[in-house]
Structure 1
Amino acid sequence: MQRFIQQWIRISLISLATVALLGCILRYKIAFSLPFVDQKYLLHAHSHFAFSGWITQALMTCLTGYLAKSPQAKIQKKYNVLLLANLITACGMLFSFPWEGYGIVSIIFSTLSIFVSYFFAVIYWHDLNKLPQKCIEHTWFKFAIVFNAVSSIGAFSLAFMMATKIMHPELYTAAIYFFLHFQYNGWFFFACMGLFTAYLSTQNINLKYMPFVLQLFAAAIVPVYFLSILWVEPSLWIYIIIVLSVTAQFVAFLLMVFMLRPYLKKIISQSPSIAVWLTAFATISLFIKLLLQMLSVIPSLNQMVYGFRPIVIGYLHLVFLGIITLFLLGYCILHNYIITSKAAIKGIYIFTAGIIINEVLLMLQGVYDLFYINIPYMSEMLLAAAIIMFTGVTFTVISQYKRIEYLDTSSALFTY
């Protein structure tokens, strides 16, 4: 079963490299001329494949790996079908969106991708319930797959508006943010937290506050969505709920850090240094994300920030790359899903450096745009950051298929 998970993670890494390549093309077109590429169409392919081909594919694979810890589990065949179905729909979107944008073919594959997520949710929920021991991570996982299904409301709302030609700007934007919110803050985040909790459980760490942390994040997720659409001017009591929810998530993060602080030396000493660094960067990114949420409850600041595209893009990439992607890479290394050769480690460090450079540049661009100041050669610098990320992840992918010696991470520490 370990080899089965490794193979699907390798495929997911190829998808990540593809996402990075599309990012390079998009950045090149902004900096220079590339007339035969439709920027909007390619952007749709980039975002949809990033969600389905990389993050969802990797999360489904890791969640399947969690189930495989049970000796009674006979799951390889059915989850192989589900993973293959998700990959096919993701590739369908990858090739159809650059060709037609939101057309009949791309919409069919997008819809099929949603139905695959429904099937995965039902089957995974059922298999979780069959595990003999009930753990707190099971609740994280169940919330994750529910939020993944809920996010499809936003996608179907967009499809309805396009089909009926009812394109009210505010409704359109609200539907997009609904989908993004329940993907980023729901499916992605809760699945990663479940995987993280499962790993901590294997290290004999007292997780006495984790149920309360889960409750705070879960209770806050719906109200925090309205933070993305404060321009609808919610009533005072709804605004108070939003502020309390954002504060609750920040408190939950601090509580989790407080809970894990006595065990940090133990965790660090027993983990590969690269996994520690990746998790540290992901944690810092999560802290920045929650802090930005706290600041954005100020209506004037919220409207100003959401009006500048570089800040929005920087925030989305902070979550997608800084939190989710770096965590998944660290998690896969901990469980030997990624072969930790010297080439792989070098590639991951290069990729991480590219993420940091990209985030710094995007935030600088956003801040300077607030004052209507143009930074010379910013497009070229962002292209360079995209190339660095693509180079790093390509190194990592190639290293997984080379017959080379790799560090021993096959001890009991890295397996369930």
Structure 2
Amino acid sequence: MIEIISAHKMLFLLCNAMKDATQKWISVSLFNLLIVAIIGVTLRYKIAYALPVVNQKYLLHAHSHFAFTGWVSMALMTLLVQYLAHHQNPHAFKKYKPVLWANLMAAYGMLFTFPFEGYAAASITFSTLSIIVSYVFAVLYWKDVKKIQWYSTTHAYFKAAVLFNALSSIGVFALAYMMATQHIEQNNYLASVYFFLHFQYNGWFLFACLGLWNHLLEQSGMNTEKLKWLFYLFAGSCIPDYFLSAPWIPIPTIVYWLVVAAAFAQVIAWIMMLQIILQNKKQLLTQVPQFTKLVLFPVAIAFSIKLLLQLGSAIPALSTLTYGFRPIVIGYLHLVLLGVISLYIIAHCLVSEIIILTPGIKKGMIVFIAGILLNELLLMIEGIADLSYHAVPYTNEALLFAALVLMAGIFGLNFKNKRTY
């Protein structure tokens, strides 16, 4: 009897330790998101008004690198390790602690070097460290997922995610080679940049989120065979879809039609997933609190818009036109990073009770979502105006206000976030 009680006590302590570790690292990630928002406000202020002390290009590098490493990658690594802690190794956080700390160190290293020197020795060192961390995480995680005794499509998503994260570094190394040899050709430079962005946004970020979502669907008792086919459609489309991000790259006609087919495949996969969700909504609703459903709705809308825009970019003339206008590109990238990835990560944390849903958190989320909507609306207006070569007055000031709203929402999430033990 004493042994049974001791075993239950040990299990209780392990569960508390796992929850504590997850909440701690997610709290760190949310704080990093706040720093990203503060930098975003600074960048928008410099565009609208004078701020000579800030180098816009250097600070933009810090903004993007820290957003990727300090916020998204930090949060996704935490949630993926939490999955292992529940299903494979209850001591997973202890094993991955050095990797998480190394990722955090790389993120802050880039934060404190890029604004002052741009791409130089120190910032490149920390960038390289972040790539090494992604390799180490990919190898460790792949091996640990393989140790899980049962098959799940969730595991396939997670394996694809860490693989695409490692693959994205090819774009970084291509850039480094061009800079080292001083042979920078515009199209090759952009192709390398978009290679990195594509396999981060549409690879590592998206597949990790899809894996977390797939796990919720499986827990709700949904048809695993259908979910497996959705993975095949999404995964098979990822590599060909890169050419939608780099329309200036000459490709054979047969490859172009493969790219078009890939764009259609992701739309079809998304429609199939929505059908599965609607057919099994009663089971799913029991897993998701009412407020979180309202958070997931804009995620679904943003993801639908993303896929439709991606499909539209398969038209060469339209793709070449839109990629030439900065507001459209920025609007698309923010749509994915904020409207799809960031919102989903926070929604998942709410469903899993990693973030406790308090009245303060609800208010912070509402303000955050309002900021995303306002930011996207203004960028869309600016993009359409640029297409017709017209300037919309006070757009920069309005975008600064949208950045402030976003920052206020994220500040609310940080200030009202409470950990439970």
TM-score (norm 1): 0.95
Which position in structure 2 is the counterpart of 1:32?
49
Cα deviation for residue 207 of structure 1 reads 3.2
Question: Do the aligned residues in 2 keep the contact of 1:350 with 1:388 (CA within 8 Å)?
Answer: yes
Question: Do the aligned residues in 2 keep the contact of 1:207 with 1:259 (CA within 8 Å)?
Answer: no
Which position in structure 2 is the counterpart of 1:116?
133
1:394 to 401, 404, 411: 411
Which position in structure 2 is the counterpart of 1:385?
402
**Alpha carbons of 1:166 and 1:336: their partners in 2 closer, same or farther (altered >3 Å)?**
same
Paired amino acid for 1:106: S
Is 1:189 matched up with 2:200? no
Distance in 2 between residues matched to 1:204 and 1:218, nearest whole Å: 23
* Secondary structure class of the residue paired with 1:230: coil
Question: Do the aligned residues in 2 keep the contact of 1:24 with 1:386 (CA within 8 Å)?
Answer: yes
Distance in 1 between residues matched to 2:192 and 2:287, nearest whole Å: 44
Cα deviation for residue 31 of structure 1 reads 0.3
Distance in 2 between residues matched to 1:65 and 1:280, nearest whole Å: 25
Show the 5 A alignment for 1:88-127. Answer: 88-127=105-144
Show the 5 A alignment for 1:293-332. Answer: 293-332=310-349
Distance in 1 between residues matched to 2:167 and 2:288, nearest whole Å: 36
**Alpha carbons of 1:72 and 1:145: their partners in 2 closer, same or farther (altered >3 Å)?**
closer
Question: Do the aligned residues in 1 keep the contact of 2:267 with 2:307 (CA within 8 Å)?
Answer: yes
Question: Do the aligned residues in 2 keep the contact of 1:274 with 1:330 (CA within 8 Å)?
Answer: no
Show the 5 A alignment for 1:57-76. Answer: 57-70=74-87, 72-76=89-93
1:79 to 96, 100, 107: 96
Cα deviation for residue 400 of structure 1 reads 1.9
Distance in 2 between residues matched to 1:166 and 1:278, nearest whole Å: 46
Which position in structure 2 is the counterpart of 1:153?
170
Distance in 2 between residues matched to 1:93 and 1:67, nearest whole Å: 29
Which position in structure 2 is the counterpart of 1:353?
370
Distance in 2 between residues matched to 1:86 and 1:190, nearest whole Å: 19
Which position in structure 2 is the counterpart of 1:362?
379
1:344 to 361, 373, 389: 361
Question: Do the aligned residues in 2 keep the contact of 1:67 with 1:73 (CA within 8 Å)?
Answer: yes
User: Alpha-carbon deviations, 1:2-26, whole Å to 9, x = none?
Assistant: 1110000000000000001000000
Cα deviation for residue 72 of structure 1 reads 4.6
Distance in 1 between residues matched to 2:330 and 2:367, nearest whole Å: 21
Distance in 2 between residues matched to 1:48 and 1:392, nearest whole Å: 21
Show the 5 A alignment for 1:273-312. Answer: 273-312=290-329
User: Alpha-carbon deviations, 1:194-253, whole Å to 9, x = none?
Assistant: 111111111222233111111111111111101122223322111111111111111111
* Secondary structure class of the residue paired with 1:340: coil
* Secondary structure class of the residue paired with 1:132: coil
Question: Do the aligned residues in 2 keep the contact of 1:311 with 1:366 (CA within 8 Å)?
Answer: yes
Paired amino acid for 1:217: F
Paired amino acid for 1:143: A
Cα deviation for residue 269 of structure 1 reads 4.9
Q: Structure 2: any 5+ residue segments left out of the alignment?
A: 1-17
**Alpha carbons of 1:47 and 1:71: their partners in 2 closer, same or farther (altered >3 Å)?**
closer
Cα deviation for residue 401 of structure 1 reads 5.0
1:208 to 225, 242, 252: 225
TM-score (norm 2): 0.94
**Alpha carbons of 1:203 and 1:401: their partners in 2 closer, same or farther (altered >3 Å)?**
closer
**Cα RMSD (Å):** 1.4
2:65 to 24, 43, 48: 48
Which position in structure 1 is the counterpart of 2:5?
none
Which position in structure 1 is the counterpart of 2:351?
334
Cα deviation for residue 327 of structure 1 reads 0.4
Cα deviation for residue 147 of structure 1 reads 0.4
With 22-31 and 271-280 compared, the bigger mean Cα shift is at 271-280
Show the 5 A alignment for 1:116-265. Answer: 116-265=133-282
Distance in 1 between residues matched to 2:401 and 2:361, nearest whole Å: 21
* Secondary structure class of the residue paired with 1:223: coil
Paired amino acid for 2:87: S
Distance in 1 between residues matched to 2:123 and 2:355, nearest whole Å: 31
User: Alpha-carbon deviations, 1:161-198, whole Å to 9, x = none?
Assistant: 11111111000000000000000000001111111111
**Alpha carbons of 1:367 and 1:2: their partners in 2 closer, same or farther (altered >3 Å)?**
same
Cα deviation for residue 270 of structure 1 reads 4.3
Cα deviation for residue 71 of structure 1 reads 6.7
Question: Do the aligned residues in 1 keep the contact of 2:221 with 2:283 (CA within 8 Å)?
Answer: no
Paired amino acid for 1:110: S
Which position in structure 1 is the counterpart of 2:7?
none
User: Alpha-carbon deviations, 1:116-160, whole Å to 9, x = none?
Assistant: 011111111111112222211000000000000000000111111
The alignment of Structure 1 onto Structure 2 pairs a total of residues equal to: 404
Question: Do the aligned residues in 2 keep the contact of 1:21 with 1:390 (CA within 8 Å)?
Answer: yes
